[in-house]
Amino acid sequence: MMVSTMFGQAAHPMRTTTITVSQDGQGDCRTVGDALTLAAETRLQRRDAHLPITIFIHPGTYRERVTVTLPYVTLEGVDAASTVIALGLGARMPADDGTPLGTFRTYTMLVDADHVTLRGLSIVNDAGDGREVGQAIALYADGDGLLVEDCRLLGHQDTLFTGPLPPKELQPGGFIGPKQFAPRKVGRQWYRRCLIAGDVDFIFGGATALFEDCEIRSLDRGEEVNGYVTAASTPEGRPYGYVFRDCRFTSDSCAPGSVYLGRPWRDFARVALVDCELGEHIRSEGWWDWGKPQARDGSRFSGVGLFGPGFAPECWPDWTLPDDPAGPAWYAPRHVLDTAEENPDEDGGESSWS
């Protein structure tokens, strides 16, 4: 697809350099962090700040915190089952100064660069139940042109954060972390054929993000309300927030009707589900306003072509759109990822921007 040329390394495929990571010492580096350092050094040596680099990671469980600040980098594993990057930090755990880490310092991986690709990896925060350890981010994704393919993003509460942060925190110190004072740049992110698992608000943030052919798995907490899939904070005026196309909303063992599709983290949240299957764990009303009557006017929660035992359009609140009149063309990948705002083509054709 032409739309993919805005993502990853497509701009200079012939110049790609590969760095290998293997825990047995048979690669260029033993850790992913060391490979990223070598990637930066390689670019300096070649005097090419945009040299595309692939970091190929051999099977193993790498217990390390990974921070990606280089653009045009691909992190690729053999497959998500065998190539795992994991850590276990929770928001209630102490930082070096003794204060709680807070949500945004718990990540296992931070992507803070544009045109990054993640492929064939499991990115895991295994801190445990959020009721005990607090929020625990597996992937903190904050960049434009991010492509995540064939990956597993695993956690409990707040598994995937799609930056940017909202303009202001609701409580003092709520955004302490690597992007607390950074400009709020809305990036485009594309998740394909991924498994994303968690319980409370486990896909949250302000990015324009397209999820295609993904499994969105809710974990059982044994409560009447087991959780919420999304907590979008789409900036005011953006045409798209989260768009799920051809996704399957599943659960491990959640009781029927115990999981909401989402709630608005901020008042202009936008979440659309297109041709998705909703399991019986999804509550019949679908969405909750989080006790924010004002968010009913500013948010847009919608569906197109939904099916499955968890879809009950007659029960959706009157401030949602179970049969979105915008139709499927408005949510075609080219329009979502190009952030087109006017007159999407009927055929949902491919993007010509590169």
Q: Does the residue 24 lie in any domain?
A: no
Own/partner contacts of 348-352, CB < 8 Å, gap of 24 or more, are: 350/1, 350/2, 350/3, 351/1, 351/2, 351/3, 351/5, 351/6, 352/2
pLDDT of residue 352: 32
Name the burial class of residue 150, with classes exposed (0-12), middle (13-18) and buried (19+) by CB atoms within 10 angstroms of its CB.
Answer: middle
Task: Say which CATH number the domain at 210 has.
Answer: 2.160.20.10
User: For the whole model, what pTM was predicted?
Assistant: 0.94
CA dist., res. 192 & res. 151, Å (int):
8
CA dist., res. 28 & res. 18, Å (int):
10
Tell me the DSSP string of 275-291.
S-EE-TTB-TT-B--TT
Per-residue pLDDT of the chain (354 residues; tens, 9 = 90+): 445 555 665 555 557 899 999 999 999 999 999 999 999 999 999 999 999 999 999 999 999 999 999 999 999 999 999 999 999 999 999 999 999 999 999 999 999 999 999 999 999 999 999 999 999 999 999 999 999 999 999 999 999 999 999 999 999 999 999 999 999 999 999 999 999 999 999 999 999 999 999 999 999 999 999 999 999 999 999 999 999 999 999 999 999 999 999 999 999 999 999 999 999 999 999 999 999 999 999 999 999 999 999 999 999 999 999 999 999 999 999 999 985 333 334 344 333 322
pLDDT of residue 286: 99
CA dist., res. 24 & res. 107, Å (int):
26
Tokens of 180: 């607390």
CA dist., res. 27 & res. 25, Å (int):
6
CA dist., res. 75 & res. 77, Å (int):
7
Number of domains in the chain: 1
Q: Does the residue 257 lie in any domain?
A: yes
Q: Does the residue 36 lie in any domain?
A: no
Q: Does the residue 274 lie in any domain?
A: yes
| Residue 267 designated active-site | no
Instruction: Identify the domain containing residue 93 by its residue range.
Output: 62-338
Q: Residue 272 belongs to what H/E stretch? A: strand 270-274
Q: Does the residue 333 lie in any domain?
A: yes
Phi and psi at residue 334, to the nearest 5°:
-60, -35
**One of 142, 144, 158, 201 is an active-site residue; which one?**
201
**Three-class SS string for 29-56?**
ECCHHHHHHHHHHHHHHHCCCCCCEEEE
pLDDT of residue 344: 37
As a whole number of Å, the end-to-end CA separation of the chain is 11
Q: Does the residue 268 lie in any domain?
A: yes
pLDDT of residue 253: 94
Q: Does the residue 2 lie in any domain?
A: no
Tokens of 248: 């399957």
Q: Which residue has the tokens 């399957």?
A: 248
Q: Does the residue 207 lie in any domain?
A: yes
pLDDT of residue 12: 56
CA dist., res. 169 & res. 175, Å (int):
6
CA dist., res. 63 & res. 44, Å (int):
28
C-alpha dihedral sign at 38, 40, 45, 49? positive
pLDDT of residue 13: 56
Residues in Cβ contact with 312 at an 8 Å cutoff, skipping those fewer than 6 apart: 284, 285, 286
Going by C-alpha positions, the residue among 162, 241, 161, 246 that lies closest to residue 212 is: 246
CA dist., res. 172 & res. 149, Å (int):
36
